[in-house]
Structure 1
Amino acid sequence: MPAVIRGGRRQAMPAPRRRAAAPRGQARGPQTQPRFLEQGLTPSMAWAGAGSFVFVALIIALFGWGAEIGRATGRAIDNQFAAMGFRLEQVHIQGASPAGQRAILDELRLERGQPFVFMDLDGLRTQIEGVGWVSQARVVRLLPNTLVIEVAERRPAAVWQLDGAVRVVDAQGTVIPGADPGRFSELPLVVGAGAEQASAELIPLIQRWPRLRDRLDAAVWVDGRRWNLLLRDGGVIQLPADGIDAALVQLEAMDQQERLLDLGFARVDMRVAESVAVEPRGSA
């Protein structure tokens, strides 16, 4: 046994103490540290790395790269985010009527709780704009769980009848698929081939004159060039092919002076701009 000199006296160096083995079934003191700590990675650094991954993934999703990543990696990443709380819980539709909202939801078939972060917003917008009620759409994702859909809806303007079939058209004369004509009995009725397109000019003019509008039963598009207005009392107003606005102004002036629309005429012929012929009811 080696010795050391301390204070001039030779002393034996004490033997190292042996740590007594713990009895079986008892803990052996502090547990071994996890491997990532042994390599110099702290828990805070680990969480920071995970947070960075989440942040980058969210940025990718928000800037529209999600569809490509989804195609490359499948749905696994989206499902991971769904498990973290990024899943669809609410859908808000703005600018649509109740009928339009139902049509949009029926088309999209969204499910509560479905993965949300990498949802294909462009694809959703294309689907929504394919719905007959919608002219334009915008889809916004609000993290963590809300989808906002903003639409510009086609507003019903008239009911179009052709060969026994009845359809609803908007202000541009475009047919609105899925719109039930029976729910729009208050709208003007336009009749004939091409009447739906020509109504885009006529309907706004009729709306300017309430007395005529309230007595109108139908507008018939004649020979693809002009209108006959059929009144509810059986009278007919024959409008010219050109200058409809001027003819309606003249009709309104006559009505104010003579209460023409209350007289119960059979026909008012306004096809010639220089003259107006009024045929009383019951005449030959």
Structure 2
Amino acid sequence: MSRRPAQAQRATTRRGEKPKPRGTARRPQRASVLDQAIAGLPMSPETLHKVTTWSIVGAVAAVVLTVGILAGVPQMIGVGFAQAVGDAGLKVDEIQIDGLKRMDRATVYEQVLDQDSRAMPLVSLEEVRQRLLKFPWVKDARVSRRLPSTLHIAIEERTPAAVWQNHGQLMLIDPSGVPLEPVSLEAMPDLPLLIGEGANTQEAARKHLLETQPGLKALVKATSWVGNRRWDLFFTSGEKLQLPEGEDEAIAALKKFVQIDGTQRLLGRGYVGFDMRDANKLVVRRQGVIEPPPPVSSAPTAAPTAPTTTTTTPPPAGTGAGEG
């Protein structure tokens, strides 16, 4: 009786194998965090797949568009897409300009509209800015888009500080000496007059020199930069003051001149000019004669030797003439 169960048991149990316990089953694998997140989305897997696919396509299209615009090649698909965006309504239809006082507004419009396309994505803001900075009046410019169709330009203009006369031409300059535009003799503004080659680059030095003696500033008709090394001052009363070379030396000489003028009244007495190129003495010139010099310092000094040439008439402020 027991032989058949034993044979059945041997038939079902191979040599070397352990019998599996009854009642055991394979446990289900735990879902991953990503699977749980996807399962929690309020959309079907098919819809999620479509969204993912179109997101990838859109990202690739954006990269292609950016590369096309940066490369500047009209044949690229990016430019074509940007042009299509412009045709759909995102194009420059209005230009707002702020800050213009002296520069021609039509010139600004011309620089902005000189583009291959008026599609807003294809308008190069930096290119427009660099074009505007080439104009002397423009100190700085900021260009921005105001969607859907407006380009905004804010311009900071230079301020004229003086009139520079060189080789017979009058030119407005800013405080740093940048030439702005020619000006006629009849339309000269009430600004300081600088005369001479390279005088425009010395505008800051001229201003500093006269600001050390503010009481004399209103009496100066013109300032001449002589030989690219020193100043001559022309006064409204007709005299010329020749100052020595060097910034500190010129400031010191001008201070001494103001002190002497305050006690002995040099200006407005018919003198032709005053020579202080030697900071230790002051030579006073009448027409055709040389006056004895007033003392410049407390130290005794010998009487000056008459120069070999004498200025008989002061050069007009508009000629740019002056001794070295």
Q: Same fold (TM over 0.5)?
A: yes
Aligned to 1:158: 162
The answer to whether the 8 A contact 2:68-2:77 is kept is: no
The answer to whether the 8 A contact 2:222-2:235 is kept is: yes
Cα deviation, 1:179-217, whole Å, max 9, x if unaligned, reads 132354322222222222233311343356554333333
Instruction: Select 1:272's aligned residue among 273, 278, 283.
Output: 278
Aligned: 1:130 with 2:134: yes
Q: TM-score, normalising length from structure 1?
A: 0.63
* Pair 1:184–1:267, CA change in 2 (3 A): same
Partner Cα distance (2:93, 2:261) in 1: 59
- Bigger Rg over Cα: 2
Instruction: Select 1:240's aligned residue among 222, 240, 244.
Output: 244
Q: 1:105, CA displacement in angstroms?
A: 3.5
Q: 1:125, CA displacement in angstroms?
A: 1.6
Instruction: Select 1:192's aligned residue among 193, 196, 215.
Output: 196
Aligned: 1:108 with 2:112: yes
AA in 2 matched with 1:154: R
The answer to whether the 8 A contact 1:96-1:153 is kept is: yes
Partner Cα distance (1:131, 1:238) in 2: 37
Aligned to 1:181: 183
Partner Cα distance (1:159, 1:141) in 2: 38
Partner Cα distance (1:94, 1:171) in 2: 22
Q: 1:241, CA displacement in angstroms?
A: 0.9
Aligned: 1:68 with 2:47: no
Q: Aligned with 2:201: secondary structure?
A: helix
Aligned to 2:218: 214
* Pair 1:261–1:202, CA change in 2 (3 A): same
Q: 1:236, CA displacement in angstroms?
A: 0.6
The answer to whether the 8 A contact 1:70-1:118 is kept is: no
Partner Cα distance (1:156, 1:87) in 2: 37
Q: TM-score, normalising length from structure 2?
A: 0.56
Q: 1:168, CA displacement in angstroms?
A: 2.5
The answer to whether the 8 A contact 2:144-2:151 is kept is: yes
Q: Aligned with 1:159: secondary structure?
A: strand
The answer to whether the 8 A contact 2:68-2:78 is kept is: no
Aligned: 1:230 with 2:249: no
Cα deviation, 1:73-93, whole Å, max 9, x if unaligned, reads 475434433344323244344
Partner Cα distance (1:103, 1:202) in 2: 33
Partner Cα distance (1:164, 1:200) in 2: 22
Partner Cα distance (1:207, 1:97) in 2: 28
* Pair 1:161–1:123, CA change in 2 (3 A): same
Instruction: Select 1:117's aligned residue among 118, 121, 135.
Output: 121
Aligned: 1:249 with 2:260: no
Unpaired stretches in structure 2, ≥5 consecutive residues? 1-45, 291-324
The answer to whether the 8 A contact 1:190-1:219 is kept is: yes
* Pair 1:77–1:219, CA change in 2 (3 A): same
